[in-house]
Structure 1
Amino acid sequence: MSRPGLDTNPLELGPEWFNTLFAEIGIDAEVKSLTSKSIGTGQIGENVRFVFEYAKAGPGAPKTLVGKFPSASEASLATAKVLNHYKREVFFYRTFPKVAGRITPNALYTDYDEATNRFALIMEDMSPSVQGDQLKGCHPVEAKLALSAAAVLHAAHWEDPTLDDYDWLQGSAKAPPPGLGPEQVAALWGGFKQRYAAHINEDIIEIGDAYAGSLTKWGDVYTGPFALTHSDFRLDNMLFGPPGATKPLAVVDWQTAGKGAPANDVAYFIGAGLTREDRPKHEMELLRYYHDCLKAEGVTNYSFEDLLQHYRWFAFYGISVAFAAAMLVKQTERGDEMFLTMLRRHCAQVRDNSSLELLRTLV
């Protein structure tokens, strides 16, 4: 087979390539023609929907599929290479069947080329599912769907020592040092403050300065449980199905999957996913719901009190994602609005949970 996204513009893929793919994976179909269209709001990868017209089609022939490929942006390509994003996403789908497919789209085809850092991922199309909107935020009902999926993800490899066997998985014992160390991430905060000076106030600057100044120690003092984590667990990476859907939520964009703190995903989602007005009203209810879901998945050795303390600690994580991503990926008008919105929400989360007090323990 030719290698889409590696040696071909994915928008130019023709019937022959898909006919070969279907033959290899056991789908009885002959593609007569197809249309291709870029979709989504991703800034690290490009997503394409393929719509098929068949000369013949067996019962398993998909009407549509979605492919994910390298970004067309040189800045995003460079970031993906430094941070190993493309390899990690492909290997996530290949390695973790207890998660992939259950809370994600099913993957039909994956490919990655080490030499060129090019990749391709062909998945089931989750339409008519609707992508979450990071700017708008979500209702507590949607938040519970997300936190239920988080519990599935975390429980599947809770305290699993085999996570350390994968050198491509962030945070594993065999993983190389991160492409960006804490000093480099802290330096990005300085650049962010200059670029977005007109859009951030003194309250945000105080929190950002305190966090950036603590980054060299902040990530090393956590002693709680570890699990398989998403590490970018937010609304833009979630597809919500209609009522009665077989898969009410599908989580996508696994480029940052890692071995890490479960509470990190939880704090990041709640802090960024609910508006500043809604989060304080529903925060404790959502945390208890996630904790109950964890227990239902078989995790019974993690107290709610420990979860709450870890939640307060990881309220800072979304701050670094917001300012670092803003400085590293392709700059867009929506991207600027999204990262600033996330930053403001996470700073409010830090204030409301007295998380700044925890940083003082690092001095």
Structure 2
Amino acid sequence: MINPSLGSMIQIAAQNGKLDAVALELLRRTGLSEVRVLDYTPLLGGNPVMSQVFRIRITGSGGIPRSVIMKLPAKSPVDRARESANGSYQREIEVYRMLSDMQGGFQPRILSELFDPDTGNAALLIEDLGRLPSRHEFTIGVVRDALAGLAEVHARFWGDSELGAASWMRDGYRADIFNEDTSGFSSNWEALSTSTSLHPCNHPIVNEVGSYLSDHLLEVLDELDARPCTLTHGDLHTENMMLRRNGATVEPVLIDWQDAVYSGATSDVAKFLATTLSPEIAEVYFEELIDFYYRALNADVRTDYAFSSFRRDVMLALLGTFANYVICATTEIAEGVDTSSVNRSLKSVSAVINVVRPLDAL
């Protein structure tokens, strides 16, 4: 069991920003000798109600990296208590351990970790993969590589009911909308679809999807809950897929497993493609890419999961992703405010839905 003082150390670092003690302990556990911390830089863009992320510049003897990433629980005691009770911090550590043989490839290198079972809090020291990728870096080749890695992860745990029953695993019920209140969809969609500034994609196909889900969302979610289950990322939008850059070589790296859930694999596939591909690329390559992912699954999985069923589940997962973003969308904004960055994920998914036309598959 972890030393009680280390459990307190994690909480102090998370809440008060006193980072030295936990950072030095994490560095000590890597086995690196004579390491000195130069500075800490908080990284923005994640989900602060779940965690905090810092880049640590370090120096020392030997071939040490110039910087590493430290991940801590949320700063707010209320947020931290909720996420630790939900198992978010333990869940991420458990998944990284399960996928340890993929570290340095499709998974980031976890240099060291601290976990306090009494509070459920954790701290991670992770390799620094640099800046967030821009959309144009996700070439079709990189997207295929990401789907191949994803298929390997999914296939390993396909139908593993013991994993689904683990105390730290997120409940798969209504996982595509994070078990949000479904009644929020219709009112939010009405507000968005009647707004000249907030409509995510004012085209007949998208409007038809909004209307369909206003009447049939529960049926879609019931079908999604009935899919074959495996270990899934649970929130695989573009910003959770980093790139490891080695000269001219670029390889995808899947990060941030706090929302991992035992659920249907097609939700990872659909959300990743819908938040990564431009509509122009999706129109040409979407079908080819889902076929590529399916063929990357091992034969045992494909034997019991026909492509026709898989493709239908991808389309249902697109609808589930759209519904989630509508339920969580900003529906009111002050006059004159620039709305270009508002509901960005919903806009991306809507633009892909407009060319993929998921209702045609139902």
Class of the TM-score when normalised by the shorter of the 2 chains? 0.7 to 0.9
- Counterpart in the other structure of 2:123: 120
Of stretches 285-294 and 74-83 in structure 1, the one that deviates more from structure 2 is: 74-83
Residue 289 of structure 1 is matched in structure 2 by 292
Check whether the contact 1:49–1:125 (CA below 8 A) recurs between aligned residues. Answer: yes
The match for 1:211 is 213
**Which one of the candidate residues 179, 191, 203 is aligned to 1:194?**
191
Q: String of CA shifts for 1:246-271, please: whole Å, max 9, x gaps.
A: 88221112122111111221122222
| Corresponding residue number in structure 1 for 2:146 | 146
Which SS does the other structure have where 1:168 is aligned? coil
Secondary structure of the corresponding residue to residue 245 of structure 2: coil
Alignment of 1:143-292 (within 5 A): 143-171=143-171, 184-187=181-184, 190-191=187-188, 193-194=190-191, 197=195, 198-200=197-199, 201=202, 203=204, 204-222=206-224, 223-243=226-246, 248-292=251-295
Deviation at 1:229, TM superposition (A): 0.8
Which residue of the partner structure matches residue 58 of structure 2?
Answer: 52
1:78 deviates by 8.7
- CA shift, 1:52, in A, is 0.7
Kindly report the root-mean-square deviation, in angstroms, between the aligned alpha carbons of the 2 structures.
3.8
- SS of the aligned residue for 1:6 comes to helix
Calculate percent identity across the aligned residue pairs: 21
Note the alpha carbon deviations across 1:117-139, whole angstroms, 9 max, x for none: 65422211123xx42346x6843
Q: Which amino acid aligns with 2:43?
A: I
Q: Which amino acid aligns with 1:199?
A: L
How many residues are paired up?
341
Q: Which is worse superposed, 114-123 or 156-165?
A: 114-123
1:6 touches 1:113 (CA, 8 Å); kept in 2?
A: no
| Structure 1: runs of 5+ lacking an equivalent | 359-363
Unaligned runs of 5+ in 2: 332-337
What TM-score, normalized to structure 1?
Answer: 0.77
CA contact (8 A) 2:54 2:69 kept: yes
* Deviations 1:130-164 (CA, angstroms, capped at 9, x unpaired): 42346x68432221122112112211212223222
CA contact (8 A) 2:91 2:257 kept: yes
Is the CA contact (8 Å cut-off) linking 1:70 and 1:119 kept in structure 2? yes
